[in-house]
Chains A and B, each alone.
Chain A
Amino acid sequence: MSTLPKSLRDLGHAARQATDNQIIKLVSMVDAMPERGAADAILGPVRVRLKHLRPERTLNVPRLLFLPLDAVLLNARDWRPAPGQVPRTAIVPLMAALRAAEPRVFQAVADALAGRSLSNGQMVSELGAALWTAAARSFPGAPPAGWAEAGLPPQGFPFIAETCKPLWRHGPALWKLRLAGADGLREQDLRIAFRTVAQDGPEAVGIVLSALLPYVVNPAQMIAIVGGLDRSLAGIAEQVLDKYLAGISPDLDFSDLTAVATAAERFALVLEDLDSATGRDRPKRAQLLHSLRQAAADACAERLGDQVNAHLVQPLARLVTAASVSDAEVEALEKSAIALRSIANSGRGLRQGGGFDQALTPAITLLERALPALLPAPDRYGFADALRVLEILAGSAVAARYRR
């Protein structure tokens, strides 16, 4: 970051404090740059939030090229010459070398990409396949021009090559698995894909697994399936899982409550899956999972403690007595209630008896007191509005008691 122009440096600092919407705007500015180069580093502090915010991002050749490497790219200061990681500073020299080696493919992809976004999964599959296959085929045999200028040591090159090549060679399959991962990968799809990757050796399997794990909700199942494909893969698959476990944390640092709820729910799902990867023979892993569970539960409790009063109780108290309310106010309150209920559910799943449901009690009590006096009134906060929030917070069975 220190080598950035001052304007970009300021943006990077601002990004740390930015709201979710500001981050989305910042990403679109960076994505619009013809050559992102060092400007990419300004997104460093917000990458974890970006992963959950998932803004619509325009595609360009460098972004598409490095898509299979998303999970192994690191900020330069965090990178060490070792397999399974690539510093972002390698993007510019590698991109230039590969474009020079495969000019026709790169130009054709650049032309086809104009104005497209990542949301077109099939287009990404088709154009990505062309680009990634070309990159694997033409990967330089030695550090390319600009390597030293990017601050990269020559001894780092073999590790970076060892990481990039399998990810690009198997990029098309990896991309499809990554897209499918949010719904839980299916055993048959995994088996087919990783039998092919295994032909490149266990190290390649380890690298491809590392690149995929952050995108799936069933990492332990995935490790068990891939590790079970062949005796030679079991060890490396377990190593990848340990490394993955050491790197995950419950990141609930969003200004938007819905984003917090989504991230908490996903993290709780992942931990539930990871429980299957512990056992008597893995006490350290069980301990680590326990710590992660507690940390995630603490994060949920903290967000509930911070937000229930401000986003639920106070607005509710105001709305039930207001002379007029807008649809937007009613809907905003419901949205907060849904998010806070979801955070409480995630917390309760992570740590029973943690007082998560009790955090919502003040709002439930307020609603139960207000409901008998509320009337159907579209311009005011009406009976149905309150009943819906009660249903969200306390469930249908409780709300049904107040049905008229």
Chain B
Amino acid sequence: MGPADLRLLERYAAEVTVPPRCADRGVCAAFTTPALFGTRLRPAGKGEVELLIPNPSGRAGWLVVPWAAVMDAFSPTIADRMLVAGLGAEEILPETMTAAALRVAGAGLAGRAALRAAQAYVTGMRSLDAFTTAQLEQRARGAGELLPLFRDCGIGGGGAPLARRAGRLLEFAQMLSHWRQTCPFDEDRNRAALLAARAVAVAEAASALIAAMHALAADLPAILAVWRTNGIALLAFAQRAGWVLDGWELIACLWRAAAGDAQLQALRRIYALAPPAAAEALAWPGCAALGGIPEPRTPQNALRTIDTRLCEAALCDWLHAP
């Protein structure tokens, strides 16, 4: 995001500081336009969407910008236009965003590497689904229909997508902690420490929520009965870990994709992109620590534009395996 982008954004007020619900903070969109990377989308009513951008001025909050204004101001890549168009009338959730990103990448619009990553993701997800269904059926006859509930969290025993993502987030925190020892700038060392602390809190909160899902799986016949009468409530419970993790892995992927000197710039860029903790999540079991760490603000020296290829490399890493 350069000075010209800053001027364009001046007209939008910062609105979102502490979002009451996870959905209020929007869902991280896998954009490849550098100025839009890591920003968040949410419904704006009447079939429109709006973008949440961390306040580039360095002040608190996220700016809320209508997608039409984003189109005018940032000239998004074809892949990004297709991503938003591909969401269509679907509810904007982490999983629907992932599905839309897979469709864009699968069409080759984010490049050949992203195409291969999307293909690998789809193949991997199919085999994971088959594995989870078999596990469910093994535990209780007919429990295979609970796949939508346990697809992302699994029923224990490893291999579930969200558990893997939480693990990768912990690795990211460790890498940041190691990197900060090599960084000569105090401010950036502090940023790395804060980001690592938040990443650990998020990974641990997600692990607690995943463990809660695994606990549910201990009595599948009872869950099956609830699923058949009140599936929506169960699904909302299952989606909690995805909401808590949403956005974190993509920004971690950008940092990993940036090599050498570029990691410093990537850190400054992702620092403010770390999603704010929603008030509702703080009340979820095992998630209180999400609220104990101050929210970061855009550093003054984060204005150098990262390039589209780095964003695409992050997207590939993010998609590479479920």
Q: Which residues of A contact B (CB under 8 A)?
A: 54, 56, 119-125, 175-176, 179-180, 182-184, 186, 327, 330-331, 334, 338, 376, 378, 382-385, 387-388, 391, 395-397, 399-400, 403
Contacts and interface: CB of A to CB of B under 8 A. Distances in A.
A377 to B, nearest CB: 9
A403 B82 contact: yes
Given A119-B260, A182-B261, A397 B75 contact: yes
A125 B75 contact: no
Contacts of A175: 184
A336 B310 CA distance: 16
Interface string B109-126: 101110110000000000
Given A121-B184, A122-B183, A183-B301, A376 B108 contact: yes
Nearest to B182: A120
B141 interface: no
Q: Which of B82, B183, B184, B189 has the most CB of A within 10 A?
A: B184
Interface string B292-305: 00000000110010
Interface string B56-87: 00000000000000000001111001100000
B78 A122 contact: no
Could you tell me the dominant secondary structure of chain B's interface residues?
A: loop
Contacts of A125: 184
A330 B185 contact: no
Interface of A, helix, strand, loop or mixed by DSSP: helix
B229 interface: no
A92 to B, nearest CB: 29
Nearest to B300: A186
B109 A176 contact: no
B109 A180 contact: no
Contacts of A119: 182, 260-261
B78 to A, nearest CB: 5
Bin chain B's interface residue count: 20 to 34
Interface of B: 75-78, 81-82, 107-109, 111-113, 115-116, 181-185, 189, 260-261, 265, 300-301, 304, 308-309
A125 B184 CA distance: 7
B184 A396 contact: no
Given A382-B108, A387-B78, A400-B81, 15 more contacts: A54-B261, A56-B260, A119-B182, A119-B260, A120-B182, A121-B185, A175-B184, A176-B185, A186-B301, A327-B112, A331-B111, A388-B111, A396-B78, A396-B81, A403-B82
Contact of A391 (B78, B108, B261): B78
Contacts of A56: 260
A387 B109 contact: yes
Nearest to A217: B304
A384 B113 contact: no
A327 B76 contact: no
Contacts of B116: 327
A176 B184 contact: yes
Nearest to B75: A396
A122 B182 contact: yes
Contacts of A399: 78
17 contacts: A56-B260, A119-B182, A123-B182, A327-B113, A331-B111, A331-B112, A331-B113, A384-B109, A387-B109, A388-B108, A388-B109, A391-B77, A391-B78, A396-B75, A396-B78, A399-B78, A403-B82
List of 8 A-B pairs having minimum Cβ-Cβ separation, nearest first: A384-B108, A121-B184, A327-B112, A120-B182, A125-B184, A122-B184, A396-B75, A122-B182
Contacts of B260: 56, 119
A183 B77 CA distance: 25
Contacts of B107: 376, 384
Nearest to A188: B300
Nearest to B74: A396
A54 B112 CA distance: 28
A185 to B, nearest CB: 9
A378 B78 contact: no
B115 A378 contact: yes
Contacts of A384: 107-109, 115
B50 to A, nearest CB: 20
Given A123-B182, A124-B184, A179-B184, A396 B111 contact: no
A330 B112 contact: yes
B109 A395 contact: no
Nearest to B260: A119
Nearest to A125: B184
A90 B104 CA distance: 59
A388 B78 contact: yes
B255 to A, nearest CB: 15
Contact of A395 (B75, B183, B189): B75
A396 B77 contact: yes
A122 B75 contact: no
A190 B263 CA distance: 23
Contacts of B108: 376, 378, 382-385, 388
Contacts of A387: 78, 109
A54 B262 CA distance: 12
A119 B78 CA distance: 36
B262 to A, nearest CB: 10
Contacts of A182: 261
A334 B184 contact: no
A115 to B, nearest CB: 14
A269 to B, nearest CB: 10
B185 A180 contact: yes
Contacts of B75: 395-397
A150 B187 CA distance: 44
A378 B185 CA distance: 45
A396 B76 contact: yes
A183 B109 contact: no
Contact of B182 (A121, A382, A383, A403): A121
B3 to A, nearest CB: 11
B316 to A, nearest CB: 11
A400 B115 CA distance: 20
Contacts of B112: 327, 330-331, 385
Contacts of B111: 331, 334, 388
A384 B300 CA distance: 37
Given A331-B111, A388-B111, A403 B184 contact: no
Nearest to A176: B184
Nearest to A342: B307
